[in-house]
Amino acid sequence: MRTAFIYSHEFERFTYSPSHPLKPIRFKLTYELAKAYGLLDLPDTRVVQSVPCSEADIATVHSIEYIEAVKHGAERFAEWDLISYGLGTAENPLPPKVYEWSLLGVGASLQAAKLVASGEAAIAFNMAGGQHHASRNRASGFCYFNDVSVVIRYFLDQGYRVAYIDIDAHHGDGVQEMFYRTNQVLKISLHESGLYLFPGSGFEREMGVGEGAGYSVNIPLLPQADDDIFWYAFHEIVPPLLDCFKPDVLVTQLGVDTFEADPLTTLSMTTQGYSQVIQELKRLSPGKWVAFGGGGYDVLQVPRAWTLAWAIMNEIELPDKLPDQYCALIHHLGSHDGYLRDKPYQTSNTIKRRILKELEKTLAYIKEHQLKMICSQSGGLIDK
């Protein structure tokens, strides 16, 4: 087995609330689109049935008190206590089976990590993972348990050096917080600036403390940053940092709320820029790569993006016309043009110049204060 697609039909059976912007049906649609393209029947891939993790797995990064609050919710906790844990809100409600569903999602991520660590798979993808906002004692941003941090902790316990790359529109604040003091995890997050978007963090001067000083790398982008800008930011920082850090494993959060059509964010990427970044992540992988989903609130956009990502992981070039059986499945969900890839989109030159002006300052700061330091500590060389 070269690649592993972790999945359960239970993923899409959970509902936050009828009005909640995060729709788990996007998991079913991604599975069905990948299946329609034949991507789940490839000779070197395998679909792995997700199983829940244990409470002990969750407790490697979350407090027992918080776990109990998610598990028992309003049955045992007063409303004000739940709110202190970020629970029972419109953002993070406590519908039936939320605890069991969360264990299943974290379990899928941990399965992916173990398959990669054992050598059974070089790449493993859990699209139901990527819950990067949850902190040790608090739910946040639609995230109850931080599966990304559970996986990173697992790899650290195996003695691995971990590079974590987050390309979600929202800053990966929970993961940053949990590994802010270690130099064994290089955390790089490209996201819409916290001046404009939840969670209001992820500025370039958030660099880590103690032994972790310099190992949290944040690249905030102004609204309307498009494919060209995102790629430029990524290419200037990520490859040279990984070349110097030399991770044993690559962990990525591949949220697709960076897209121009996403209803909750104001970045302007398309499938073209997204695919370019995924291709580069594949090239940069040290031979062990665990990938997660993440944000994405246009239910017709998300399956197309994650199917493209899965195809790239398997080195498959897909035809642009969506399969007829998939089009029949989604016809009741809204209008679509019947194609896998977006049309090109460019932000206006005036706006782009303003974005690039601020981005250049950020990149210069990172190169001066982090890239040089990490490369010198690792004995690496940098060209600029």
Q: Which residues are catalytic?
A: 133
Helix 98-118 and helix 147-157, axial crossing angle in degrees, nearest 10:
30
Residue pointed to by tokens 């982008």: 221
Residue 2: other Cβ atoms inside 10 A: 15
Question: Residue 205, exposed/middle/buried by CB under 10 A (0-12, 13-18, 19+)?
Answer: exposed
Rounded CA-CA distance 126/119 in Å is 17
Q: Which residues of 252-274 are buried (b: 16+ CB within 10 A; e: fewer)?
A: bbbbbbbbbbbeebebbbbbbbb
Using alpha carbons, select from 174, 168, 163, 165 the residue that is nearest to residue 221.
Answer: 168
Omega of the bond prior to 199 within 30 degrees of 0, cis?
Answer: yes
E-state strands within the chain: 3-7, 45-49, 123-126, 162-166, 185-192, 216-221, 249-253, 289-292
Q: Is 272 within 8 Å of 231 (Cβ atoms)?
A: no
